[in-house]
A and B are shown apart, each in its own frame.
Chain A
Amino acid sequence: MLKLKVNDIDVEVEEGLTVLQACEKAGVEIPRFCYHEKLSIAGNCRMCLVEMEKSPKPIASCAMPAAEGMNIKTNTEFVEKARKGVMEFLLANHPLDCPVCDQGGECDLQDQSMYYGVDKSRFKENKRLVPEKNMGPLIKTQMTRCIHCTRCVRFATEIAGVPELGAIGRGEDMQITTYLEESMQSELSANVVDLCPVGALTSKPYVFEARPWELKKTETIDVMDAVGSNIRVDTYDWEVKRVLPIINEDINEEWISDKTRYACDGLLHQRLDTPFIKYNKKFEKASWAEVYKIIKSKIENTTKEKICGFVGDLTNMETSYIFKEFFERTLDIKNYESRTDNRFINILNREDYIFNSSLNGIEETDLIFLVGSNPRYEATILNARIRKSHLNNNTKIYSLNENGDLTYPYQSFDGQTQTLKNIFNGQHELSKHILNSKKPMIILGESFLRLNNAEFLYIKMKEFLSQNNKLSEDWNPLNILSCDASSVGNFDLGFINKEKNILNDLKSNKFEIVYLVGQDNLDFNKKDEFVIYQGSHGDKGAEIADIILPGAAYTEQDAHYTNLEGKIQKAYKASYPPGESKEDWQIINEIAEFMNNRKLFNDKEELESSMFNYLNLQKEKQNKEYLNEFSGEFKNEKLTIDIKPYYFSNIIARCSKTMIECNNSKLNLKSTGTEG
């Protein structure tokens, strides 16, 4: 520990920290533009100048390592003068267009020039003008405003792993641009908008939409992938205007993916806002009482074995739970399912379907083996963590399949399950690496779980790892990477049918009533089934429905989601459901009331506490011994990684114009063949 003085306050800091961090520890605020905790140190904005005893010149505190016995002063006239000087230089070429700048109100330069700047400039010459750059459909540029802090360049190179941004030219002619002004090929690209301390890079879909002080801010959870990034949803009246990340060091750090950020305009389009009934292949508006009546008579006139229910990829846990209760208590049947494919899942032991090593664990591991997973598209934030781990710890990364560019180098194998079997029999070069590794990590994607031999191979892996003491109480190297926000929550709630294969029955048209809650991805040919669709958007599910019940989207109801690590988080209501639509749990509760004259739950609190009771009971019932032996035969197959198109992976993204533009921008790039 180093001892130093900041404004006569004694502070102790660890070795390797900078003067700026020491000042922060002493509770002194240092203005800065280029310095950012998550990025490398550049030291080029000079805003963080402080006075150091025995130094004739002010020092840049962000780049100066703290040392024993330093005496730092930040409140002297000398420092004030230095800051004013730097500010004057920064503003020399900065346009005075705050009234028409989208950053206005949340601009570091604006705020800091108020505190530390001077109110006039001595710069009489012409200001420079920099042409706008094309950075793709998400980032609007106004490069005249740029102060060359290079945060965006460092982000693209270090975190996103796409070194496409750079500073060309020099001196007054320096410009930040992408290589030949092509759009950025990253799923994290829009984070540069948050990083930009001025209005040079702003959000294109949000351009001139609102001022930050007009927006209602709600901190909630993202559902675009299973990572469960923490987000802030900004709403203006009913409309969700934008989505921003909030810091959660255990999950998304400071970043969110482009889909999380920009799929929100899908919440405004193709919404179901009133119940519909299909008459003669045409949908007609109806009232809630009418649709409830039809549902009641339909259900009463059908044998209960012929009724089945599905929940979708964005369904929250409350809805899944009440839907399950509806089937078990009101209909007295267990024909429900949350999977859309016949994947292997052992629901009796929680460790067999969550990401055991946790997201923070990625930074501790020394070997990562990807099996049937492409984390870049399936869990972008998790992929950024793998890259971070690779850069910081030189973690070795292997993949069973060739996966394209994952933003870090990795070694790939042939994608045959025979190879996988050999690895976990100890007959492969990788077996040795796994044995030599202290904390190996094996990431199993959904494509792996869909294999015919998934169960055999999973048991094989578990066996191999526990025999070699790699599987212990505090480190479980087996990680399942779920793709959908609802997956783990549904498994926790036991929302799968263990006795029979509902999906096969559905495909062979054995059911008469199919109740879909936000489920649009079922691959079945409708014959005479009566389909009830409950959801927020009109898409594939609503198309085949006979009755549509308008539900709420993830920003419109308080609800819980469990992320892929098994961490349960609450999403808060930022807006309200449009038109006559209701929250999902409410609809199911009302149907139950209509049928039995008794609500399933009196209110949401009762539902919530009942759900948590159930979850706690399930935790006690864990059966770790179930998976031990497997009698099936092993047959080699080719593992193909089957991922949903990144920009259209769920119903909200499919309805989003921004996502369509993103997708098109990538397509165009491919067709011109200029990508290298």
Chain B
Amino acid sequence: MSLRRPAKNQPENFEFNNSSLDAANKIVSKYPKGKQQSAVMALLYIAQRQNGNWIPLAAMKYIAKFLDMPYIKVYEVATFYTMYNLSPVGKHFIQVCTTTPCMIRGASKLVEACKEKISENECELSNDKSCSWMEVECLGACVNAPMMQINDEYYEDLDKEKTLKILDQILKGETPQAGSYRGRINNEPENNRKTLMDYKNA
């Protein structure tokens, strides 16, 4: 991990659209008057959502003005948290977990697959500009390691072949099925469940 810098090509302007504005106002209203600056993290996330999964400088300025706080304070927050993307990512944004449990279960094979199918380096757009990938810290699905996240979906219990297949589907524009790729429901034990037998979808 190294210091992430804002992208070189920055859009001139940024403004919340109506739905973002509603969401932002709703969050700001949760805080007492004068303490609206506490909403900065949520607003950065809303901006990231609206702007194709990354935050341009213009959005940071916009949020700073929106919350009446100095630019540098928003900039500090945005550079601190790794889940805020400061440069453009693909429409399909793939995050491969490489923290210890996933690493032990072969996360490096998933990284290899990404390098083959998408781009040689992290945070680089694929040839058709639709995909990018990066290594991330623990995504909290250690039971189903190794795993990766594509946009909002988790893909679990992977190996290299399965990953290649998923990536192929994505590059073709299809939506692969999310969840465990060894047929598990959620994170039930490998050798059939021992408890909660009455519930089908527990």
Contact A166 B72 (CB under 8 A): yes
Please name all residues of chain B whose beta carbon is closer than 8 Å to the beta carbon of A676 when the two chains form the complex: 61, 71
Given A175-B3, A676-B61, the answer on whether A169 and B72 have CB atoms closer than 8 Å is no
Contact B80 A166 (CB under 8 A): no
Distance (Å) between the CB of B34 and the closest chain A CB?
A: 12
A168, CB-defined interface residue at 8 Å: yes
Interface string of B63-78 (1 = CB under 8 A from A): 0000000111101100
Which of B1, B4, B72, B80 is the one whose CB lies under 8 Å from A179?
Answer: B72
Complex alpha-carbon distance, A676 and B1, angstroms: 31
A167, CB-defined interface residue at 8 Å: yes
Which of A157, A171, A179 is the one whose CB lies under 8 Å from B71?
Answer: A179
Given A179-B71, A676-B61, the answer on whether A166 and B3 have CB atoms closer than 8 Å is no
Contact A165 B3 (CB under 8 A): no
Complex alpha-carbon distance, A167 and B2, angstroms: 15
Contact A169 B70 (CB under 8 A): no
Contact B72 A163 (CB under 8 A): yes
Complex alpha-carbon distance, A167 and B75, angstroms: 9
Complex alpha-carbon distance, A165 and B76, angstroms: 10
A178, CB-defined interface residue at 8 Å: yes
Contact B73 A166 (CB under 8 A): yes
Please name all residues of chain B whose beta carbon is closer than 8 Å to the beta carbon of A169 when the two chains form the complex: 3-4, 79-80
A173, CB-defined interface residue at 8 Å: yes
Please name all residues of chain A whose beta carbon is closer than 8 Å to the beta carbon of B79 when the two chains form the complex: 168-170
Complex alpha-carbon distance, A173 and B80, angstroms: 10
Please name all residues of chain A whose beta carbon is closer than 8 Å to the beta carbon of B72 when the two chains form the complex: 163-166, 178-179
Interface string of A152-186 (1 = CB under 8 A from B): 00000100000111111111010100111000000
Complex alpha-carbon distance, A165 and B70, angstroms: 10
Given A173-B1, A175-B3, the answer on whether A166 and B61 have CB atoms closer than 8 Å is no
Contact B4 A164 (CB under 8 A): no
Which of B2, B70, B76 is the one whose CB lies under 8 Å from A168?
Answer: B76
Please name all residues of chain B whose beta carbon is closer than 8 Å to the beta carbon of A168 when the two chains form the complex: 3, 75-76, 79-80
With both beta carbons as reference points, the residue of chain B lying nearest to A170 in the complex is identified as: B80
Contact A173 B76 (CB under 8 A): no
Tell me which of A163, A168, A171 has the highest count of chain B C-beta atoms within 10 A of its own C-beta. A168
With both beta carbons as reference points, the residue of chain B lying nearest to A153 in the complex is identified as: B72
Which of A157, A163, A173 is the one whose CB lies under 8 Å from B2?
Answer: A173
Contact A167 B76 (CB under 8 A): yes
Complex alpha-carbon distance, A164 and B71, angstroms: 8
Number of interface residues of A (CB under 8 A): 16
Please name all residues of chain B whose beta carbon is closer than 8 Å to the beta carbon of A180 when the two chains form the complex: 57, 75
Contact A179 B75 (CB under 8 A): yes
Distance (Å) between the CB of A227 and the closest chain B CB?
A: 27
Complex alpha-carbon distance, A171 and B71, angstroms: 21
Distance (Å) between the CB of A506 and the closest chain B CB?
A: 49
Complex alpha-carbon distance, A168 and B75, angstroms: 7
Complex alpha-carbon distance, A178 and B79, angstroms: 14
Please name all residues of chain A whose beta carbon is closer than 8 Å to the beta carbon of B80 when the two chains form the complex: 168-170
Complex alpha-carbon distance, A168 and B71, angstroms: 12
Tell me which of A157, A171, A173 has the highest count of chain B C-beta atoms within 10 A of its own C-beta. A173
Complex alpha-carbon distance, A173 and B79, angstroms: 10
Contact B76 A166 (CB under 8 A): yes
Which of B3, B61, B70, B75 is the one whose CB lies under 8 Å from A173?
Answer: B3
Complex alpha-carbon distance, A164 and B75, angstroms: 11
With both beta carbons as reference points, the residue of chain B lying nearest to A131 in the complex is identified as: B3
Chain B, 2-61, CB within 8 A of any chain A CB: 2-4, 57, 61
Distance (Å) between the CB of A157 and the closest chain B CB?
A: 8
Complex alpha-carbon distance, A180 and B76, angstroms: 11
Distance (Å) between the CB of B96 and the closest chain A CB?
A: 21
Please name all residues of chain B whose beta carbon is closer than 8 Å to the beta carbon of A171 when the two chains form the complex: 1
With both beta carbons as reference points, the residue of chain A lying nearest to B72 in the complex is identified as: A166
Complex alpha-carbon distance, A179 and B57, angstroms: 11
Contact A163 B3 (CB under 8 A): no
Complex alpha-carbon distance, A166 and B73, angstroms: 7
With both beta carbons as reference points, the residue of chain B lying nearest to A162 in the complex is identified as: B70
Please name all residues of chain B whose beta carbon is closer than 8 Å to the beta carbon of A175 when the two chains form the complex: 3
With both beta carbons as reference points, the residue of chain B lying nearest to A177 in the complex is identified as: B72
Contact B70 A163 (CB under 8 A): yes
Complex alpha-carbon distance, A330 and B75, angstroms: 68
Please name all residues of chain A whose beta carbon is closer than 8 Å to the beta carbon of B71 when the two chains form the complex: 164, 179, 676
Tell me which of B2, B57, B61, B79 has the highest count of chain A C-beta atoms within 10 A of its own C-beta. B79
Complex alpha-carbon distance, A676 and B58, angstroms: 10
Distance (Å) between the CB of A178 and the closest chain B CB?
A: 7
Complex alpha-carbon distance, A164 and B74, angstroms: 11
Which of B2, B3, B61, B70 is the one whose CB lies under 8 Å from A164?
Answer: B70
Distance (Å) between the CB of A363 and the closest chain B CB?
A: 23
Please name all residues of chain A whose beta carbon is closer than 8 Å to the beta carbon of B3 when the two chains form the complex: 168-169, 173, 175
Complex alpha-carbon distance, A448 and B34, angstroms: 36
Please name all residues of chain B whose beta carbon is closer than 8 Å to the beta carbon of A173 when the two chains form the complex: 1-3
Interface string of A437-471 (1 = CB under 8 A from B): 00000000000000000000000000000000000
Complex alpha-carbon distance, A44 and B80, angstroms: 17
Complex alpha-carbon distance, A166 and B60, angstroms: 14
With both beta carbons as reference points, the residue of chain A lying nearest to B71 in the complex is identified as: A179
Tell me which of B3, B4, B75 has the highest count of chain A C-beta atoms within 10 A of its own C-beta. B3
Please name all residues of chain B whose beta carbon is closer than 8 Å to the beta carbon of A163 when the two chains form the complex: 70, 72-73
Please name all residues of chain A whose beta carbon is closer than 8 Å to the beta carbon of B4 when the two chains form the complex: 169
Please name all residues of chain A whose beta carbon is closer than 8 Å to the beta carbon of B70 when the two chains form the complex: 157, 163-164, 166, 179
With both beta carbons as reference points, the residue of chain B lying nearest to A174 in the complex is identified as: B3
Distance (Å) between the CB of B4 and the closest chain A CB?
A: 7
Distance (Å) between the CB of A186 and the closest chain B CB?
A: 13
Complex alpha-carbon distance, A178 and B71, angstroms: 10
Tell me which of B3, B72, B73, B79 has the highest count of chain A C-beta atoms within 10 A of its own C-beta. B72
Distance (Å) between the CB of B69 and the closest chain A CB?
A: 8
Complex alpha-carbon distance, A173 and B4, angstroms: 9
Complex alpha-carbon distance, A179 and B1, angstroms: 22
Tell me which of A157, A178, A179, A180 has the highest count of chain B C-beta atoms within 10 A of its own C-beta. A179
With both beta carbons as reference points, the residue of chain A lying nearest to B81 in the complex is identified as: A170
Please name all residues of chain B whose beta carbon is closer than 8 Å to the beta carbon of A157 when the two chains form the complex: 70
With both beta carbons as reference points, the residue of chain A lying nearest to B80 in the complex is identified as: A170
Please name all residues of chain B whose beta carbon is closer than 8 Å to the beta carbon of A178 when the two chains form the complex: 72
Please name all residues of chain B whose beta carbon is closer than 8 Å to the beta carbon of A167 when the two chains form the complex: 76
With both beta carbons as reference points, the residue of chain B lying nearest to A168 in the complex is identified as: B79
Complex alpha-carbon distance, A560 and B72, angstroms: 44
With both beta carbons as reference points, the residue of chain B lying nearest to A178 in the complex is identified as: B72
Tell me which of A170, A171, A175, A676 has the highest count of chain B C-beta atoms within 10 A of its own C-beta. A170
**When A and B form their complex, which 4 residue pairs have the shortest distance between CB atoms, in order from nearest?**
A163-B70, A166-B72, A173-B3, A168-B79
**What would 12 A/B residue contacts be, using CB atoms closer than 8 Å?**
A157-B70, A163-B72, A164-B70, A167-B76, A169-B4, A171-B1, A173-B1, A173-B2, A173-B3, A175-B3, A179-B70, A179-B72
In the complex, besides A168-B76, A179-B72, A180-B75, 6 extra interface pairs with C-beta distance below 8 angstroms are A163-B70, A164-B72, A168-B3, A169-B79, A676-B61, A676-B71
Q: Which residues of B pack against A, CB within 8 Å?
A: 1-4, 57, 61, 70-73, 75-76, 79-80
